[in-house]
Structure 1
Amino acid sequence: MAFGAAGTLTAKQLPAQKTVSPPLLDQSTQSKISVLLPRDRVPLSFVIDDSTCLVNMGHFCTPQFATAWPDRAEYKQPWQEWPREIPDSFVREFGEWCSENGVKGKYSIVPYPACVGWMDRELPGWSRRQLQDSLKLVRDLMVPNWDIHPEMITHTRVIDLKTGRPMQEINKATMENSFPQEKKSVDELAAYLAYALRILKNCGLPCEGVTTPGGFGNAVKKELPAAVHQAVRDVFGTELPHYFKYVEMGDDTEPKLENLSALDSTYPQVTANVLAGTGDWFGGWQGIRTIEQQRYLSPDGQTGRMADLIRARQPAVMLCHWPGMFNNGSKDGFHAFQSIVRTIASVYGKQTVWMKLSEIGRYWAAKRLTKITLTDGKISLIAPFATQCFTLSIPRSSNIAASNQLTLSHGSQSQLIKRVSSEWKLNSNTFFVDHQSVKVCFDLTKGISSIQTS
């Protein structure tokens, strides 16, 4: 959970980081060309925290949190009455429905969930075959449309990396939700993150980012982006690591680019901090909260946080916790989510596009860091990162507006970009001309490329 077990979801103050805002247009280009949203649509995504294979984190986490924070009322719930398992049948039902409806997002797999068992070894209470089948289901069904993140190692107890065992004492200093209590170096943080990542790598699960549970990393916010980059790149060789930690309830939900260096080199260094734009108003991390569906979106699609973000053309990333989808068997959260997705499709379907967190982070890295020039009707681009459906707006006065097709060139390769008759048809390798501008959408390659009339 991003803020979950430690308390109420609220907007968080982001740490001071070196960030970039405007795209790197040369002076003559700046008033002529702009980078739009992908396909000129608002990105949507769904962040799922506290998910893992089989283990119901609400059931197993609650007594451990109660030991560390004995006075908190939310930890005095009747966890013994809740099911210990969120079955694979629900994962399949959820994943198949989301695939059919184009939903994408982030899905956590806690590697050693609440110290119950290891995802890459054994899960006491379930057979080895059940664990392997559950992991295969995630690989086959979830991985294509969802970023897989470790949510640290246990989501409860801090692990001694030398022994692989939980720390002996049980208090807020030895719980991942409030770890660390003191300053840690980038290397120390990266070692902890890498430990979690390696377990998922052993399971055959790809990871381009991590999720922080609760207040993990609050004392080391400045070091965290570099640690994420180091750990994810070391374990998975990921070009552009990202992480999920923050909920932003203000006006700006765009990803933050942090830990920037060597931007003009072959191997630029950037960490994308991808934000959620809502609280968790489903069933919460224990799956027992009253669902507040209208806080996300009203049945007519006119009010709610998602409507506000879409109208403001800001990334609209919803947040939930997996037990709050299952709701200890009632699946009320999932049913509410289905209703929200259907409403978005019917009211805002031509204005939005579902994306994984990694795709959103990558698009913003390209949006902010690609150098663009427009000279004599030719667009030249130097991109440190590739991305799909990169979309530019060019003045209609350009000679590009009179063309029926354009040519995208990268080295010896070329690709035709064809004109479409309406803006909602804008997709990769197409362009649309309206009364003010030309909108060009294409798959941006890393390095040098250009677009000109054919």
Structure 2
Amino acid sequence: MANGVTSGCDFGREVEGPYVRAMLIAQKEVNDIPLTWYFLHEEPDRRHWSVNPSVMYLDREDGEAVVSIVSGCREFFFYESRRWEAATPEKVTEATDKYLTADGCTGRMAKLFGDKSCIVFHSHFQRLYGPEDRYGFMILEELLGRIDRVFGNRVIWMTPSELARYWATIKAYGVQAERSERQMRLRFSSPFACPDFTVKVVLSEKLGISRVTADGGKLPEVTSDSILVPNSWTQKDEEAFICFNLRKESRVETEF
């Protein structure tokens, strides 16, 4: 089942509004999917702010959304290798550096990571593995190794549909807070359920949190030096970070 759409070249760019609505209608009629996504835009040169998905249509009451997944990188797999007569380790290294250098200091992905942006990159299959060569695939193979070594568990891999769901939920959810002397209760409402949803709670003063539950289930604490994992929480001074599986109606309780 295709839960999203890849737009050929600039298809639909000049009529993007009707194009977005047509995608949603088609997904609902054919696949019974009320939340969909599409590829059309890339921002390989944007600076000074993040390159993130855009929610192009949102209906909270009916629980419908269409999300534009924006690529933040140029297609270096192709543009760096298209004139190669043969692949050498030096050429593969130089091409991969456009995405991410081996030390992680420069390259487009290093910039996006530093800006706390989503890191989305793309390619066409024929540009990774052509009829005469597989130069693009060799660059991709080197790039994946660098991402693992440089970023490690500081990034998570997501499918386009997972990213679209997360971003639509960010824009659509609501929360009400109730505070007592020893407890804070957060009531979430959202048109979409979303696994591994993460929120930051800013406390008015530094209070030691002793227990966090989500929909009745206790969440384990991770130390402030560790990476937040699904269904867990951590505290840094007056800020608490909570990752949980958001339902359409969820309750998070924090005890001090």
Report the TM-score when normalising by structure 1. Answer: 0.49
Q: Provide Cα deviations, 1:231-275, integer angstroms capped at 9, x if missing partner.
A: 1121111120111111123133211111223x1x2x222111111
Distance in 2, Cα, partners of 1:281 & 1:358 = 24
1:439 is matched with which residue?
241
Distance in 2, Cα, partners of 1:365 & 1:423 = 29
> Which amino acid letter does the alignment assign opposite residue 299 of structure 1?
A
Q: CA RMSD in A?
A: 2.1
Equivalent position SS for 1:274: strand
Q: How does 1:20-169 map to 2 (within 5 A)?
A: none
1:129 is matched with which residue?
none
Q: C-alpha displacement at 1:329, in angstroms? A: 4.9
> Which amino acid letter does the alignment assign opposite residue 349 of structure 1?
G
Equivalenced residues, count: 238
1:308 is matched with which residue?
111
1:449 is matched with which residue?
250
Distance in 1, Cα, partners of 2:217 & 2:31 = 31
2:8 is matched with which residue?
213
> Which amino acid letter does the alignment assign opposite residue 441 of structure 1?
C
1:256 is matched with which residue?
54
> Which amino acid letter does the alignment assign opposite residue 293 of structure 1?
T
2:213 is matched with which residue?
407
Whether contact under 8 Å (1:372, 1:382) holds in the other structure is yes
Equivalent position SS for 2:41: coil
Whether contact under 8 Å (2:50, 2:116) holds in the other structure is no
Distance in 2, Cα, partners of 1:219 & 1:402 = 51
Distance in 1, Cα, partners of 2:177 & 2:146 = 40
2:167 is matched with which residue?
364
Correspondence 1:295 to 2:93: no
Whether contact under 8 Å (1:282, 1:324) holds in the other structure is yes
* Fraction of identical pairs, as percent: 26
Q: Provide Cα deviations, 1:43-73, integer angstroms capped at 9, x if missing partner.
A: xxxxxxxxxxxxxxxxxxxxxxxxxxxxxxx
Q: How does 1:240-279 map to 2 (within 5 A)?
A: 240-249=35-44, 250=46, 251-261=49-59, 263=60, 265=61, 267-279=62-74
Correspondence 1:323 to 2:104: no
Q: Provide Cα deviations, 1:262-311, integer angstroms capped at 9, x if missing partner.
A: x1x2x222111111111111136xx8455732211112221111110011
Whether contact under 8 Å (1:283, 1:327) holds in the other structure is no
Q: C-alpha displacement at 1:330, in angstroms? A: 3.5
Task: Return closer, same or farther for 1:398/1:387 CA change in 2, 3 Å cut-off.
Answer: farther
> Which amino acid letter does the alignment assign opposite residue 227 of structure 1?
A
Distance in 2, Cα, partners of 1:343 & 1:226 = 39
Equivalent position SS for 1:365: helix
Within the candidate set 130, 137, 149, 1:334 is matched to: 137
> Which amino acid letter does the alignment assign opposite residue 210 of structure 1?
V
Correspondence 1:349 to 2:155: no
Distance in 2, Cα, partners of 1:216 & 1:316 = 23
Whether contact under 8 Å (1:407, 1:453) holds in the other structure is yes
Query: Which structure has the larger Rg over C-alpha atoms?
Result: 1
Distance in 2, Cα, partners of 1:320 & 1:372 = 38
Q: C-alpha displacement at 1:344, in angstroms? A: 1.6
Within the candidate set 183, 194, 208, 1:387 is matched to: 194
1:229 is matched with which residue?
24
Whether contact under 8 Å (2:50, 2:115) holds in the other structure is no
Equivalent position SS for 1:391: strand
Q: C-alpha displacement at 1:378, in angstroms? A: 0.7
Whether contact under 8 Å (2:13, 2:40) holds in the other structure is no
> Which amino acid letter does the alignment assign opposite residue 10 of structure 2?
G
Whether contact under 8 Å (1:296, 1:306) holds in the other structure is yes
1:26 is matched with which residue?
none
- Between Structure 1 and Structure 2, which shows a larger proportion of strand residues? 2
Report the TM-score when normalising by structure 2. Answer: 0.85
Q: C-alpha displacement at 1:327, in angstroms? A: 3.4
Distance in 2, Cα, partners of 1:318 & 1:340 = 11
Question: Unaligned regions of 5+ residues in structure 1, if any?
Answer: 1-205
Task: Return closer, same or farther for 1:423/1:231 CA change in 2, 3 Å cut-off.
Answer: farther
Equivalent position SS for 2:56: strand
Equivalent position SS for 1:246: strand
Distance in 2, Cα, partners of 1:373 & 1:386 = 17
Correspondence 1:429 to 2:227: no
Distance in 1, Cα, partners of 2:24 & 2:233 = 35
Distance in 2, Cα, partners of 1:401 & 1:332 = 54
